Amino acid sequence: MTPQRRFPLGRLVFFVTSNIHKFNEARLVLAEHRVATALLRVKKVEVQDDSIENIAKASALDATKKYKLPIIVEDAGLFVKGLNGFPGPYSSHVYRTIGLEGILKLMGNVEKRDAYFQSVVAFCSSEELSKCFHGKVEGRISLEERGSSGFGFDPIFEPSASPNKTFAEMAMTEKNKYSHRAQALRKFVKWYTSNI
Ligand code: ITT
């Protein structure tokens, strides 16, 4: 049976997040493959763990159990090599507390400005079916904040593939060419459209 026949209204997955920017980026990527994304704005279970994969997986499994829907949860973090991977799994807290200015201050004496974003997309549609997909983008921390698009650490992250611009100086479609999130989501959607 063709995919169109099995899914006359198209395919739909529910993205649990409180971050509308993440949702909009994801929606664009999944739409490239004719998968629709709905925002499920409910409180996520957030386990404390050093692994973003474990955090995403636990949240997706919990949401699928509660809402009986095909769920994706995406967890991401910025890992600065010169700061031994900080803030990593603590990115959300660090963004809300010391923010971009704090990271730039911490980087003051650090010569090695290499950093990467990592993303894990966890998909669950039942307790038996859960899968994770990873994405990573290498880059460096800029010397100052630049740009006003995007969110979070975008104004201080220059991806290696386009080193003269921060993510915040790019339109969403351009960020999606390189980003950790888009890479993980493309792996997910490739698997999803051939297996579900
Ligand atoms: P949800 O957990 O509700 O999905 P969140 O904003 O907390 O939303 P994450 O835990 O995935 O999202 O991300 C942690 C932080 O890492 C986030 O608050 C941002 O500050 C930063 N971050 C993640 N992805 C980013 C990106 O693409 N660009 C800039 N900063 C990002």
Domain coordinates in residue numbering, the chain: 12-195
Q: What is the mean pLDDT of residues 32-38?
A: 95
CATH number, domain 12-195, options 3.40.50.10420, 3.90.950.10, 1.10.10.10, 3.90.550.60? 3.90.950.10
| Nearest residue by C-alpha to atom 19 in ligand 1 | 152
Ligand 1 center from residue 60 Cα (angstroms): 16
Name 84's Cβ contacts closer than 8 Å, sequence gap at least 6. Answer: none
Cis omega (within 30 of 0) on the bond before 70? no
Q: Is 75 a catalytic residue?
A: yes
pTM of full prediction above 0.85: yes
Nearest of 178, 92, 91, 189 to residue 135 by alpha carbon: 178
pLDDT in tens, 37-46: 999 999 888 7
The number of the ligand 1 atom at minimal distance from the alpha carbon of 73 is 4
Catalytic residue among 50, 75, 114, 154: 75
Name 56's Cβ contacts closer than 8 Å, sequence gap at least 6. Answer: 73, 74, 75, 120, 121, 122, 132
Proportion of the chain above pLDDT 70, given as a percent? 95
Contact call for residues 91 and 77 (beta carbons, < 8 A): yes
Nearest of 156, 158, 153, 165 to residue 19 by alpha carbon: 153
d(CA 21, CA 94): 18
Q: Is the pLDDT of residue 158 over 50?
A: yes
pLDDT in tens, 133-151: 999 999 999 999 999 999 9
Q: Band of the pLDDT at 121, cuts 50, 70, 90? A: very high
Ligand 1 center from residue 119 Cα (angstroms): 9
Q: Is the pLDDT of residue 10 over 80?
A: no
